[in-house]
Amino acid sequence: MVDRNRARGARLLIVGPPGAGKGTQAQFIGERFGIPDISTGDIFRHHIKNLTPLGLQVKAIVDAGDYVPDSLTNSLVTERLTEADAQNGFLLDGYPRTLEQVHYLNGLLEDSGKPLEAVIRLVADQEEIVARLSKRAQEQGRMDDSEEAIRHRQEVYLRETEPLIEVYREQGLLIEVDGLGAVDEVAVRVRDALAARGIGEVDELAFS
């Protein structure tokens, strides 16, 4: 049976601060467009678990406490994007993280004739997120997840992503969506924001 609510595939990227519900929204977007939600963390874990050559390189670097270099991360993402389920589109989550990765991804997709269509940024007030995560940590007994640690993660996110966000803003790809509120409400905002860009039409060919 054809899913008449499924939109055509799309090439998207999602960013958002820790605690903004990015993972949940990424899942919704992937399901709606029929595209894989590609997380670099998941890619790393897959390769490490399966002892691939790239996975062994990543494991050695991580075990040594070092950062995975851009070149290796780029190789892993490139390989993932060649898989069959990503040919109709994808949603990248957690990549790119550096300006070098941004430029690499732009070149990779432009060479294939399939550039990014939009970058979804979930925007949320930092104080509200800190309050929400602090309350959750207390309820779950995660005493090591202090307010200080939560604030530090928020600051790291802002520091790392701000340069990337500005690049995508200049390229006209950035879509900013209020990430606070009920999950379904945020999902509707994301859907409407994409539709306003002409992204999300139902694929009529699927019904013929």
Residue 123 lies in a domain: yes
pLDDT at position 99 is 93
Out of 11, 22, 32, 189, the active site residue is 22
pLDDT at position 86 is 95
Range of the domain at 81: 21-207
Residue 38 lies in a domain: yes
Query: How much of the chain exceeds pLDDT 70, in percent?
Result: 92
Per-residue pLDDT of the chain (208 residues; tens, 9 = 90+): 334 455 678 999 999 998 888 989 999 999 999 999 999 888 988 889 999 988 898 889 888 877 889 999 999 999 999 999 999 999 999 899 999 999 999 999 999 999 999 999 999 998 999 988 888 888 888 777 788 888 988 888 888 888 999 999 999 999 999 999 899 999 999 999 999 999 976 443 332 3
Residue 40 lies in a domain: yes
Burial of 17 (0-12, 13-18, 19+ CB in 10 A): buried
Out of 6, 8, 151, 153, the active site residue is 153
Out of 45, 49, 135, 136, the active site residue is 136
> For residue range 162-175, what is the model confidence (pLDDT) as tens digits?
899 999 999 999 99
Does 49 participate in catalysis according to the annotation? no
Residue 115 lies in a domain: yes
Q: How many domains are contained in the chain?
A: 1
Residue 6 lies in a domain: no
Does 45 participate in catalysis according to the annotation? no
Out of 6, 8, 59, 97, the active site residue is 97
**Number of neighbours of residue 167 by Cβ within 10 angstroms:** 16
Does 136 participate in catalysis according to the annotation? yes
Does 153 participate in catalysis according to the annotation? yes
Q: What is the CATH number of the domain that holds 151?
A: 3.40.50.300
pLDDT at position 208 is 30
Out of 45, 49, 135, 142, the active site residue is 142
Residue 86 lies in a domain: yes
Residue 188 lies in a domain: yes
- DSSP calls for 133-190: HHHHHHHTT-TTS-HHHHHHHHHHHHHHHHHHHHHHHHTT-EEEEE--S-HHHHHHHH
Residues 6+ apart with CB under 8 A from 73: 40, 95, 97, 101
Q: How far apart are CA 93 and CA 12, in angstroms?
A: 9
Question: HSE-up of 144 (CA within 13 Å, CB side)?
Answer: 0
Does 97 participate in catalysis according to the annotation? yes
Residue 75 lies in a domain: yes
> For residue range 167-208, what is the model confidence (pLDDT) as tens digits?
999 999 999 999 998 999 999 999 999 999 999 764 433 323
Residues 6+ apart with CB under 8 A from 125: 180
